[in-house]
Structure formats: C-alpha cells, structure tokens
Amino acid sequence: MHKLNQIFQALTKLLLVLVGATFLLSLIVRLLPGSPADFYTNAFNEEDRLLQIKALGLDRNAFSSYAHWIFDLVRGDFGPFFMSGGSTRPTSLIIAQSIPRSLLIMLYVQIVSLTIAIPLGLLTAYRADKAVDRIISTGLFAGSAIPGFALALSLGYFFGVRLQLLPTIGYVPIAEGLGEHFKHLILPVASLSIPLCASYARILRAEIISTLRQDYVTMAVSKGISNSRVLIKHVLRPSSTSLITTASLNMGALIGGTVIIDQIFALGGLGQQITFAIFARQYIALQSYIALIAIAFILFTVLADLLIGVVDPRTRNRNV
C-alpha cells in the first residue's frame, strides 16, 4: 500500500513535469520565425486565407491552442499535421509509422549494450588493475569517447562501401522479412550501442569495485562461497542501481534523440521526424512528438525506481 502510494505520488509529480515541459515547448515553437500560416496557406485573397488559417487551427491564441492540443492528446488524438492549402492529416499516421521503428531500435540497442556491458563490467571489476582490465578498459574508454556520427560514418564506409556486406540506408519492417529487417539495422544499432555499451560497462565496473570493498563480501568469500557465486549473487545485484538509472534515462533519449543516426541511415524514426517538424514549422506535430518522448521518459523513470526496489531491497524505504 505504501509502495502504491509512492508510485502514485511519483506519477503525479512527473505528470506535472510533462504538462510543464510541453507548455514551455508550445511557447517556444511560437517564437519560431515564419508562422505555419505562411507555410501552409496558398489562397489568393485575404478572406480565403483567413478561412485556411482557421482550418489549420492557427487562429487560436497560445493558451487556447495548448488546451485544444492537450484535450485531443488525452483522447489519443495527436493533432493535425499541416498540409498545403489549409488541409490537414492526422499526425497519428506519421507517429504510427515512426514510433515502432524508434521503439524497436531503442530495444535492440539496450539489449545489445546490456548483454555486452554486464559481463565486461563484472570482468573488469573482478580483475581491476590487472592486464585484462587495463586492455578492456582502454577499449571501453575509446568506445565512449568517439562521437556517434563519426562511428556511424566509418562503420557505413567499411561495411557498406568497402566490403559491400550491409545496406547503409533505409528501414525494412519486420513484416517484409526478418532477415532484411535485421540486416538494415545492424549498422545503426551498432553505432548507437558501442558508445552506450562502453559507458554502461564503466558505470558497472566502478560500482562493483566499491561493493567488493564491503564487509559482507569478505564475509561471503571467507565462508567459502565460490567467487563466481559471490559476484553474481551478492555483488551484481546491489551494484546495478546506477546502471538501471542510467539505462532508463537513456530510453527517452534513444527514442527521439538519435537525430543524427536516423538521418545518416535514413531510418525515418522519431528523431528524423522531429528535425523535419522543426524546420517545417509543424507546431502541433512537434508538440506531440516531444510529449511522447516525455511520456516515455516518465514511464521509464518510474519503472526504474520499481526495478531498483526489487533488485536492491535496502532502497525500498528511501524517499523518492
């Protein structure tokens, strides 16, 4: 009951954050030079022009426009995507196309990064300052220090152009063949995973090293429990809280923040749609995209808190 109450409180707090963030955003987009009224009307006389502006919903003031948008959003309507001549089509059509891509890519990136990072973190921490650790840690450092797009371009060049092994452009939905789907995503997922995996492993390594200094670990070892059992059973769990927090914070950023990788590999995910919306003055659509990212951010933050409570019961009574 107490836990439920806590989750409820966290959710309300975060919902307020969502409303605040999107309202701020709706004000910022109004500052963008060149109103969509100029972009998307093509009438020759003023009267028709005003009609078109009304049809686009651009005659409303900031507050009324925001109220309309959030009311629609609650009902699952992502608002109008402006078309030339005062017509609109639902933004949900674009979201329905780009969100599955972004979500799948995010999921693949997290799975790949975590499955590689966790063993590496364990190994480097267990063998801290030995040769193995030195070599792997240097590699991890390099991985986390190289900008994502430099990585994306070089991977694209070697595997796409030089070796002609992998496609470098486009997205293929699962429905059109699982093999092609994965083939098209190997390079983008690798470009996103390498830096992420490196930073995850480094976070885990640092935390495991400090857990290894705890008395209860010495105790467990002196009781004769095997090293691998101590590492996995007694050390990994309490050491994973920072990793869980960081990984969940990355969820939102991976859904919409992968602007460049989206662009280089022409994936048509949410990141690419956001850049397009900014430059094409798609106010309402942009607000909906960002709201989706913020909602993801909120959900994953709460999920991470719950998960940390399960993984490390000591934190359960902590005030979130």
Please report, as ranges, the residues that interact with another protein according to CB under 8 A: 16-18, 20-21, 24-25, 28-29, 31-33, 141-142, 144-147, 149-150, 153-154, 156-157, 160-161, 168, 252-253, 256-257, 259-260, 263-264, 274-275, 278-279, 290, 293-294, 297-298
318: left (phi > 0), else alpha (psi -120 to 50), else beta? beta
- Residue 89 main-chain phi, psi, to 5 deg: -130, 160
Select 238 or 256, whichever has its Cβ closest to another protein. 256
What is the closest distance, in whole angstroms, from the C-beta atom of residue 85 to another protein in the complex? 24
- Count CB-CB contacts under 10 A for residue 61: 9
Angle separating helix axes 241-256 and 270-279, nearest 10 degrees: 50
Cβ at position 320, least distance to another protein in Å: 13
Cβ closest to another protein, residue 244 vs residue 294: 294
CB of 223 to another protein, least distance (A): 29
- Least Å distance between CB 157 and another protein? 5
Residue 229 beta carbon to another protein: minimum distance, rounded to whole angstroms: 29
d(CA 319, CA 3): 11
In the bound state with another protein, the residue whose beta carbon lies nearer, of 152 and 308, is: 152
**Measured CA angle at 281 (ends 275, 284), to 5 deg:** 95
For residue 184, give every residue at least 6 positions away whose Cβ sits within 8 Å of its Cβ, in sequence order, or none: 166, 167, 170, 171, 172
**CB contact at 8 A, 9 and 16:** no
H helices present in the chain, as ranges: 2-31, 36-39, 46-56, 62-74, 91-126, 131-145, 148-155, 178-212, 215-222, 227-229, 237-239, 241-256, 259-264, 270-279, 283-311
Rounded Cα–Cα distance for residues 137 and 9 (Å): 40
Which of 39/49 has CB closer to another protein?
39
The separation between the first and the last C-alpha atoms of the chain, rounded to the nearest angstrom, is 15
Q: Which residues contact 299 (CB under 8 A, 6 or more apart)?
A: none
Q: How far is the CB of 23 from another protein (least distance, A)?
A: 9
| CB of 48 or CB of 257, closer to another protein | 257
| In the complex, minimum distance from the CB of residue 246 to another protein, in angstroms, rounded to a whole number | 13
**Of 111 and 161, which CB lies nearer to another protein in the complex structure?**
161
Distance in Å, CB of 219 to another protein, minimum: 23
- Closer to another protein at the Cβ: 120 or 230? 120
Shorter beta-carbon distance to another protein: residue 79 or 86: 79
CA dihedral (31, 34, 37, 42) in degrees, to 10, reads -170
**Cβ(208)–Cβ(131) below 8 Å:** no
